[in-house]
Amino acid sequence: MSQTVDRALSILPLLAEGPANLEQVATRLGVHKSTALRLLRTLHGHGMVYRQEDQRYRLGARLFALAQQAVENLDVREIAHPHLVALNERCGHTVHLAVYEENEVLYIDKVESRYPVRMYSRIGKPVAITVAAVAKLLLADLPEPERRAVAERLTYPAYTARSTPNAAAFLKELALVREQGWATDLGGHEESINCVGAPIRGADGRVVAACSVSAPNVVVTADELLTLLPQVRRTAEAISREYSGSAPAPAPHDAMSVAPRTLGPQAVRTDKRAKEPLS
């Protein structure tokens, strides 16, 4: 790397610690004040740093704007897809990726099962938000007031005898999901479908998406599917690292070492509005 570029870039993490004057910058870089001033002026010209009235420098607004733009342009689906394919190749079952947008949880990617009996979920369609594992993971991460408000405005269809019955039960399950850092669906939308999922987190520890493995019980039992939880979680963690550019911050109450426990038996939704039989 060019020495000049290296020195200029070294100024940014220094100013991230707080405003610094010319002498402090020169001392940290190990250069003469004239060199430090030249670098600061160049960064200032590009809006990367800003000189305050007290002659100290801080990070500039342009830098924050670029960072925000970069985050907004990150495509979690593009980053996640190779990992989802690899998980599918290892386990053979259907793998989903979902996000929470405009009060709906939507599948944004899917890798089909290698088995002849398959789920006919569809990319772009909403999931059954009160029973799907991916929905529980996404909603569990919401701040408590928002989480409660969402739960109380939802309806709770009785897809099966195992469906979540009401807001109180849903909030209780979301609290458990938030604590343990993973979720299951065991027969909540279709009695024959089971699912296990894990959260994908950004650099701030917040859940940005969720991935899951689903399978009909004629292919694998619920207990057998639960043995795949470590693989699902490792996949979600790998996507999180790549998406955030580093190891994501731990979420509150994220007990990643908790042994698998069966939650209330709910199942992933294929799609109620465009449902097709398994074949």
What residues does each domain of the chain span? 3-71, 74-274
Residue 75 has a pLDDT of: 87
Among 136, 130, 139, CA closest to 183 = 136
CB contact burial 189-221 (16+ within 10 A = b; e otherwise): bbbbbbbbbbbbbbbebebbbbbbbbbbbebbe
Fold of 3-71: Arc Repressor Mutant, subunit A (1.10.10)
Please determine, for residue 134, whether its predicted confidence score (pLDDT) is greater than 70: yes
Are the C-beta atoms of residues 201 and 244 closer than 8 Å to each other?
yes
Please determine, for residue 266, whether its predicted confidence score (pLDDT) is greater than 60: no
Please determine, for residue 250, whether its predicted confidence score (pLDDT) is greater than 80: no
Within this chain, domains 3-71 and 74-274 share the same CATH topology: no
Tell me the pLDDT of the chain averaged across its residues: 85
Residue 70 has a pLDDT of: 63
* Residues with Cβ within 8 Å of residue 148, at least 6 apart in sequence: 171
Question: Which pLDDT tens digit goes with each residue over 12-60?
Answer: 989 989 999 999 999 999 999 999 999 999 999 999 999 999 999 999 8
Question: Which pLDDT tens digit goes with each residue over 147-189?
Answer: 999 999 999 999 999 999 999 999 999 999 999 999 999 998 8
First-to-last alpha carbon distance for the chain, in angstroms, is: 57
Q: What is the dihedral of CA 104, 168, 178, 184, to 10 degrees?
A: -70
Are the C-beta atoms of residues 173 and 164 closer than 8 Å to each other?
yes
> Can you tell me the mean pLDDT for 204-231?
94
Distance in angstroms (rounded) separating the CA atoms of residues 164 and 166: 6
Percent of the chain with pLDDT over 70: 85
Q: Report residue 245's pLDDT band, with 50, 70 and 90 as the boundaries.
A: confident
Fold of 74-274: Beta-Lactamase (3.30.450)
Q: Which two tokens stand for residue 168?
A: 């109180």
